Amino acid sequence: MPFTPPLMPKRCKAIFLDRDGVINHDPGDYTRNIDEFTLLPTVLKSLSILKERGFVFILITNQGGIAKGIYGHKEVEEIHKYLQSILEKNGTPLLDIYYSPHHEITGKSLSRKPGSMMIERALAKHNIDPSSSWMVGDKQRDLDCASPLGVPGVLIPTNADLEGYLPELQ
């Protein structure tokens, strides 16, 4: 009997989202806890439209406040659990969440954006097609972490109306 290789699952397309300034209001000096977490106004509607276009969602966020001792993993995980519950109720759950607790003042890390490790892990784990996916961020480093891997990016102003950028995300 001849060998038949297993079928690879279909590659999916993803929207990689920065958190602070894209998903929630960025106050400029860290979102330290759940009380400071405020979802931006058009995020839920925008994610619903993107889901209709066939995208899955992955959060890619630097959380350097951990390295600086401003807040801890517990606070970040509480925010992410809360965000995930909101997005699940919206029918637009996050497929995965990656965050880097590092900051360059305490040492270099490939996981911290603009390093590409968080995107690399997501691409491999979830069989994502980079050329059909997008990275959405409010800082150039957000896009710089994805572009070497073939993931195009959309740079939006901090705390911008995500809905205004939907035409670019096809």
Summarize pLDDT for 62-80 with one digit per residue, the tens. Answer: 999 999 999 999 999 999 9
In this prediction, residue 114 carries a pLDDT of 96
Q: Reduce the DSSP state of residue 34 to 3 states and report it.
A: helix
Examine residue 44 and state whether it is found in any structural domain, yes or no: yes
Element (H, E) at 96: strand 94-100
Residue 96 annotated as catalytic: no
In this prediction, residue 110 carries a pLDDT of 81
pLDDT in tens, 18-56: 999 999 999 999 999 999 999 999 999 999 999 999 999
Residue 20 annotated as catalytic: yes
Contact 71, 29 (CB under 8 A): no
Examine residue 123 and state whether it is found in any structural domain, yes or no: yes
Contact 100, 65 (CB under 8 A): no
CATH code of the domain covering residue 96: 3.40.50.1000
Catalytic residue (one of 20, 26, 138, 142): 20
Q: Which domain holds residue 81?
A: 19-158
Distance CA 72, CA 9 (A): 37
Per-residue confidence band for 150, with pLDDT thresholds at 50, 70 and 90: very high
Count of domains forming the chain: 1
pTM for the model: 0.92
In this prediction, residue 109 carries a pLDDT of 87
Catalytic residue (one of 18, 26, 138, 142): 18
Over residues 77-99, mean pLDDT: 98
In this prediction, residue 5 carries a pLDDT of 58
Element (H, E) at 62: strand 55-62
In this prediction, residue 4 carries a pLDDT of 62
In this prediction, residue 107 carries a pLDDT of 78
CA distances from 59 to 1, 8, 69 (A): 45, 25, 22
Examine residue 164 and state whether it is found in any structural domain, yes or no: no
In this prediction, residue 129 carries a pLDDT of 97
What does DSSP say about strands 134-137 and 94-100: parallel, antiparallel, or unpaired?
Answer: unpaired
